[in-house]
């Protein structure tokens, strides 16, 4: 809605008279909304945006452009864009009917032009983006993405925004090493398990992490350490010397969240949180 004011001036024989001030408003006939799927993100994932334009007027609105800032934000002196447009992904519909592909200018901002909205109808744009290395990853972070609709006689550009947030969760991997690679009979063998968390949320005791393994050959006289602390059989882990079946007790392992740093170009790097579990025994 745009409010306007107007006043007339009368001049006569060197005199001036001003009229009263009248006001009115211009009601916008074009409105916009924007949604994203999914509503959370990780680096490398695809996010699909749907922009819906409604025309409440009695005549079609043509020559419209939609500009998308692709979530651009500033960090210090840097202007960063956390989303990349997927080339060729735009689909354009009017009243639910697929239309020929509109003109698209990639980059940041993404500009889609030559659009029309039928009288009393709607136009919909669907397009995909990918989350790149400039996306913030700390828990609770988000990407706010705004489109600006202009042209077609629209007096004040119409905007619509959508915010997606980080997928706040632990993201765990486990690796295993053996030492020595060659062992004699009755020799000592050590398995080392490294658990890493690339997620922005710590894995807590309530997440009930369990490491299980069946040692072949079976080990005897087990020594188990977790982050350098010796564990107790039955309290921290279980082991069957007849079968070689080993398992940690649920809730004994926790893994800190990853930490994040930003280089001078604004790219975010991830340092996983990690813990180490070692199991030694006699072959």
pLDDT, tens only, 251-276: 999 999 999 998 888 888 999 999 99
Please state the domain extents for the chain: 28-166, 172-282
The model carries a pTM of 0.78
Note the CATH number of domain 172-282: 2.60.40
pLDDT of residue 14: 82
Rounded to whole angstroms, the Cα distance separating 114 from 101 reads 10
Q: What is the DSSP letter of 203?
A: B
Give the sign of the dihedral formed by CA 156, CA 157, CA 158, CA 163. Answer: negative
User: Rounded to an integer, what distance in angstroms lies between the CA atom of residue 270 and that of residue 114?
Assistant: 41
Report pLDDT for 106: 84
Note the CATH number of domain 28-166: 2.60.40.1530
The yes-or-no answer to whether 28-166 and 172-282 have a common fold is: yes
Query: Cα angle at 195 between 189 and 199, to 5 degrees?
Result: 175
Lowest mean pLDDT among 25-29, 44-48, 84-88, 121-125: 25-29
pLDDT for the residue numbered 264: 86
CA pair distance 85, 102, nearest whole angstrom? 15
**pLDDT for the residue numbered 78:** 86
Give 72's pLDDT tier (boundaries 50, 70, 90).
very high
Q: Percent of the chain having pLDDT more than 90? A: 77
Nearest to 201 by CA among 158, 149, 137, 154: 137
- In this prediction, residue 185 has a pLDDT band, given cuts at 50, 70 and 90, of confident
Distances (CA, A) of 172 to 202, 252, 254: 10, 15, 11
């Amino acid at each position: 809605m745009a409010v306007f004011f107007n006043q007339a001036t009368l001049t006569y024989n060197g005199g001036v008279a001003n009229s009263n001030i009248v006001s009115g408003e211009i009601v916008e006939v074009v409105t916009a909304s924007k949604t994203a799927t999914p509503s959370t993100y990780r680096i490398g994932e695809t996010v699909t945006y749907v922009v819906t334009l409604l025309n409440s007027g009695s005549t079609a609105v043509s020559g419209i452009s939609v500009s998308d800032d692709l979530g651009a934000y500033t960090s210090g002196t840097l202007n960063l864009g956390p989303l990349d447009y997927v080339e060729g992904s735009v689909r354009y519909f009017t009243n639910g009917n697929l239309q020929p592909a509109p003109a698209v200018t990639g980059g940041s901002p993404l500009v889609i032009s030559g659009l029309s909205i039928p009288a009393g109808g709607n136009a919909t744009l669907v397009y995909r983006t990918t989350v790149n290395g400039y996306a913030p990853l700390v828990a609770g972070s988000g990407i706010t993405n705004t489109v600006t609709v202009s042209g077609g006689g629209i007096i004040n550009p119409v905007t619509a925004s959508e915010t997606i947030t980080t997928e706040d969760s632990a993201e765990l991997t486990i690796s295993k090493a053996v030492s020595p690679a060659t062992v004699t009979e009755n020799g000592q063998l050590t398995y080392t398990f490294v658990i890493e968390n690339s997620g922005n949320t710590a894995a807590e005791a309530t997440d009930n992490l369990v490491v299980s393994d069946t040692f072949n050959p079976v080990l005897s006289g087990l020594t188990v350490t977790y982050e350098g602390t010796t564990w107790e059989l039955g309290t921290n882990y279980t082991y069957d010397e007849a079968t070689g079946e080993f398992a940690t007790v649920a809730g004994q392992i926790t893994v800190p969240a990853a930490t994040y740093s930003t280089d001078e170009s604004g790219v975010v790097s991830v340092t996983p949180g990690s813990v180490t579990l070692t199991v030694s025994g006699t072959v």
